Amino acid sequence: MTALQACLLISAFLFAIGFAGAVTRRHAILVLIGIELMLNAANLNLIAFWRFGPHPEALTGFIFVLFSMAMAGAEAAVGLALIIAIYRHKKTSNLDEVKELKG
């Protein structure tokens, strides 16, 4: 097993954990946490490939991850704002009860 494969396995595992949490837990914030974990797993993947890929001096993967983190921050902000707005409206943060789009 090369270092790359190890890193990739770790990121895959992290992704699976994040995914499991996102689809299993009831609370909306926990789903967001799971999504952040998945994002981080993807970032790890990217860095691993940048480091062990053909042209690390181009810094392509690196910059990509930077932007990805910026996006993750923006997305977390908006997502939490949404959760707060929904909490205000429906007095609950239980995802099972937010099903206006049913049907």
Partner 1 sequence: MIWIIKNLWLIPALPLFAAGIIAVNKQPARKLAATLAIGSLALGFLLSLCAFFATLGHHGDGVFREVFSFPWIQFGGQWMDIGWVLDPLTAIMLVMVTFVGMLIFIFSVGYMAHDDNFMRFFCFLALFAAGMLGVVIANNLFLFFVSWEIVGLTSYLLIGFWYHKPSAAAAAKKAFITTRIGDLGLLLGMVWLYAETGTLNFYDGGKGCLESGALATMLTHATIGGMAVSTAIGLLIFLGAVGKSGQVPLHVWLPDAMEGPTPVSALIHAATMVAAGVFLVARVYPLMSIGGIIGAHGVPVTTSLTVITWVGAITAIFAASIAVAQNDIKRILAYSTVSQLGYMMMGLGVGGVAVGMFHLITHAFFKALLFLGSGSVIHGCHEEQDVRKMGGLKKYMPVTFAVYAIGMLALAGFPLFFSGFWSKDEILHSAHNWPVSHIPFLLGCTGALFTAFYMTRQVALVFFGSYRGNEEITTHDHSAHGHSHSSDSHNHDPHESPAVMTVPLMVLAGFAILLGFVGTPAWPWFGGYLTGEEFKFDFSRLTEPGTLGLMLASAAIVFTGLGLGWCLYGKRQRKTVAEKDVLETAQPFIYKLLENKYYVDEIYEATVIRFNAFAAWLCDFADQWIFGGAVLLVKYITIGLAWLYRLTDEYFVNLGFDTGCEALREGGGGLSKLHTGRVQTYLRVIGVALVALIIFLIWGRKA
Partner 2 sequence: MSPFFIITGIVTLLGAAFAMSLRNLVHCALAMAVAFSGIAALYLQLDAQFVGFAEILVYVGAIAILIVFAILLTRSGEAPEKSVLTSGWMAGIAVSAMVFTMLGWAVLNSSAIPKETPPAPVATVKNVGDALMTKFVLPLEIIGLVLTAAMIGAVIIALKEESKNENPGRKS
Residues 32-91 that bind partner 2 (CB under 8 A): 32-34, 36-37, 40, 43-44, 47-48, 50-54, 56-57, 59, 62-63, 65-67, 69-78, 80-85, 87-88
Identify the residue whose tokens are 């990739």.
Answer: 8
* C-alpha radius of gyration, the chain, whole number: 17
Q: Decide: is 95 part of the binding site for partner 1 (CB under 8 A).
A: yes
The item of partner 1, partner 2, none sharing an interface with residue 78, based on CB under 5 to 8 Å by kind, is: partner 2
# residues near partner 2 by CB under 8 A = 71
Q: Do residues 94 and 26 make contact, with C-beta atoms less than 8 angstroms apart?
A: yes
Hey, what are 73's tokens? 């921050």
- Nearest by Cα to 17 from 46, 44, 57: 44
Between residue 15 and residue 34, which ones bind partner 1 under the rule CB under 8 A? 19, 22-24, 31
Report the chain's terminal Cα–Cα distance, integer Å: 48
Identify the residue whose tokens are 């690196």.
Answer: 62
**Least Å from the CB of residue 102 to partner 2:** 14
The item of partner 1, partner 2, none sharing an interface with residue 14, based on CB under 5 to 8 Å by kind, is: partner 2
